[in-house]
Amino acid sequence: MRLDQLPLRRPGRIASVDWAGLGDAQAKRLREMGVDDGVEVEALHRAALLGPIACRIGRMVVALRRGQAAAVRVEFA
């Protein structure tokens, strides 16, 4: 399942990231935020009308664009 499809407040773990599907700047930003295989993740809030998704990645809370969240595959923890 993709991160943008993860039910709110349901913990998951990053299974893989489609780095090739992201631009270089986006991939760098995600890596700097700690996005990597095995990291715990949780969707906290979705903005209306395809807005960003607030996610807990490890211990940080960040806002991701829906396209970025769609590149992250997760599995339930």
DSSP assignment of 38-77: T-EEEEEEE-TTT--EEEEETTEEEEE-HHHHHTEEEEE-
Number of domains in the chain: 1
pLDDT at 49: 87
Nearest to 53 by CA among 12, 15, 25: 12
> Contact at 8 Å (CB) between 47 and 53?
yes
| Mean pLDDT, 10 residues at a time, the chain of 77 residues | 96 96 94 94 94 95 95 94
pLDDT at 77: 76
CATH number at residue 45: 2.30.30.90
Give Cα separations from 14 to 4, 26, 49 (angstroms).
12, 17, 25
Against a cut of 0.85, is the pTM above it? yes
In terms of residue numbers, what domain contains 11?
Answer: 3-76
